[in-house]
Structure 1
């Protein structure tokens, strides 16, 4: 599985070859640096660690400064491991977007969804809410209503849909088409939406 790390720039739309207006996400990807090559002999498994985004040395621990010095590169903000990496992956090598993806490819995008804070059942789970009031609740139009527990089972079952923290989760969107690749600008245009806020890190996997 090859991949690369990027930063979500925002959304736009472009016309496809058949004249369809396609909503797309613009991602700044790479160049990423190979900061570590793991092998079965030394680490128990094969993987390639990539780093992306510069970070100040004063905000980097001494141990990590030494880690990056081995790869002859500056400290990086985001580190991600990829198993079964295809292509050249020597320590210190630079991986560019055109080496991993081409126009027409399909990829999986991994990001952290926007955090919504503590939300009620209408927003969090799509309960009926206003206009579909039940249980005769004349003044509780966004309340969850009865949760069905009584002397049996005398508890609330795990997993019941209730209010709580929403968003801020790791989300993977699969099978997004690569619409355009701009290698000279380190940009890639992907069909559809990718989880996360603008300027958040995303992982693009083959």
Structure 2
């Protein structure tokens, strides 16, 4: 077992023992309840499904209500599945906490949905520098993408060309983030640097 579900609580900064001031992200990891156990014999692989944060029964559909009832767990807002080598250590309805497998100094991979930026041009989306300085006869060219292909041959734009489009709002994984501090009284991790997602967005924390 190498994963838990957390929530992005924003950023702060702390002083390390050597006097350096380091920016860090705050991740809250509440009780992750085991809502399903899959076995190699029945499903072809071993894994457990975790759920966090209670959800009203009135806002949960009937199939999910039956799913949670089978595990004896209150309906949850966020579910995620993690592969495990040995399922004998897990029981339906039990919960996992930060200290189950994480400690200060460990490296983790953090996966979440990045902030949506909307429709953006090539300067912001792909770090283009524009077509140069303004001159006579040119209109609104400072942030233009410039030429996107030859006119006569091949007379088309190649697929995958870096152009303007929707930016953000997709799954992003940042690898090898160091755990700077663990606060078990408030169920909080302090991770070095930035992580994907808005405040209160859900994250998947996996051990690197």
TM-score of the pair, normalised by structure 1? 0.93
For 2:105, the equivalent position in structure 1 comes to: 104
Whole-Å separation in 2 of the counterparts to 1:133 and 1:93: 65
Whole-Å separation in 2 of the counterparts to 1:149 and 1:42: 56
2:18 paired with 1:18: yes
Gaps of 5+ in 2: none
User: Secondary structure in 2 aligned to 1:190?
Assistant: strand
Q: Cα RMSD (Å) of the superposition?
A: 1.8
Gaps of 5+ in 1: none
Structure-2 change in CA distance of 1:129 and 1:86 (3 Å): farther
User: Secondary structure in 2 aligned to 1:184?
Assistant: coil
Whole-Å separation in 2 of the counterparts to 1:70 and 1:184: 31
Contact 2:13–2:21 (CA<8 Å) still a contact in 1?
yes
For 1:29, the equivalent position in structure 2 comes to: 29
For 2:192, the equivalent position in structure 1 comes to: 191
Q: Please state how far the C-alpha of 1:130 moved relative to its aligned partner.
A: 7.9
For 1:54, the equivalent position in structure 2 comes to: 54
Q: Deviations over 1:120-151 (max 9, x none)?
A: 111111111386569x7453211111112212
Q: Deviations over 1:66-103 (max 9, x none)?
A: 11112211111111111126783211111011112111
Q: Deviations over 1:16-49 (max 9, x none)?
A: 1222111100111021000011111111111111
Contact 2:26–2:190 (CA<8 Å) still a contact in 1?
yes
Contact 1:109–1:194 (CA<8 Å) still a contact in 2?
yes
User: Secondary structure in 1 aligned to 2:185?
Assistant: helix
2:126 paired with 1:125: yes
Q: Which moved more, 1:159-168 or 1:140-149?
A: 140-149
